[in-house]
Amino acid sequence: MKKHTIYTADIPFLRQEPLVEERTCAKPGCTENGDYKAPRSSRDVRDYIWFCLEHVREYNKSWN
């Protein structure tokens, strides 16, 4: 029986390309990457808005 060769490029989680798309900051006018998540509301803390570092700090200061 012939052995089959499996290439890592055929297995999605072993590919070298990033699986996560790059997000942009949710602040209007900002073009930085949205690498930091913040909850949309206190009622649903599992739904997130993505901000750059500067704007997530600003958002978190006004959270309360």
Tell if the pTM clears 0.75, that is, is over it. Answer: no
pLDDT of residue 22: 82
Q: Which pLDDT score, from 0 to 100, does residue 14 have?
A: 63
Tokens of 44: 């649903």
Q: What is the DSSP string of 10-49?
A: GSGGG-SS-SSPPPBPSSTT--SB--EEEES-SS-TTSEE
Stretches in the chain below the pLDDT threshold 50: none
Query: Which helix or strand (DSSP H or E) is residue 37 part of?
Result: strand 36-39
Say what the pLDDT of residue 25 is. Answer: 96
Picking from 61, 62, 63, 54, the residue whose alpha carbon sits closest to that of residue 30 is: 54
Domain layout of the chain by residue ranges: 21-61
What pLDDT score does 18 carry? 60
Q: Report the pLDDT value the prediction gives residue 13, as an integer from 0 to 100.
A: 63
For residue 21, the model assigns a pLDDT of: 72
